[in-house]
Amino acid sequence: MSNLLKRIITSILLAVVLLFCLFYNKNLWLLLLLLVSIISFFEFSKLINKIFKNRNISIALINLTTLFYLIFFTFSAYDLAEVNVNIFFVILVCIFSDIGGYVVGKTVGGKKLTKISPNKTVSGSIGSFVFSFIPLFIFSILFYEKINSLFINLIFLSIFISLISQVGDLFISFFKRKAGVKDTGNILPGHGGILDRIDGMIFAIPVTFIFNEMFLKL
């Protein structure tokens, strides 16, 4: 089985699990979030151990910070799911942003964005921002009355989510590069580890939670 086919099958299965947990039962959603956070913690901890090796104090401090951050991530994702449109919107923006970066980056190519991740290009980054508007237009059609008055805010939110998602991608890429590994794990066939799949979301969701509390209150 080719790597591309593995990625497609894994992506479909992940989408089914995510949608089922999100829309069917909030307890399942919380359980999924806890599972994702626990696996992410161990994957990131493994990177930190490779980078800092015997510097136990540094490892302990970073692991503790990571633990608290993942708790906040879990809380944010669960709270945003109280209104399904919120969390689903964030996830879709992250996914389309990632697709846009990959498609445009591969098609157009051009100047490298950063040395942290050599495969990232400026054109890909622009593509991420452009594709991040697709969920907004979908939601504006499906939930016109609900989001019409917030359309301008949601434009800025889409750009912001895409930006934070790209930063999250680069953040994890930086640590992978420092640790000398290609993937954070191998739990997802064709993708690598959990962090390889949700690196953008794990940053975008807490930031969106804060943005929502301050400006939107959807």
pLDDT digits (tens, 9 = 90+) for 38-96: 999 999 999 999 998 878 888 899 999 999 999 999 999 998 887 655 788 888 888 88
Q: Could you give the number of structural domains in the chain?
A: 1
**Residue appearing with tokens 């943005």:** 211
CA distances from 211 to 43, 89, 92 (A): 28, 14, 17
Is the predicted pLDDT of residue 151 greater than 80, yes or no?
A: no
**Full domain range(s) for residue 149:** 3-216
Q: Which of 216, 96, 88 is nearest to 166 (CA)?
A: 96
What is the CB neighbour count within 10 angstroms for residue 54? 7
CA gap 204, 194 in Å, rounded: 15
Cα 78 to Cα 30: distance, rounded to the nearest angstrom: 6
Distance, CA of 77 to CA of 136 (rounded, Å): 19
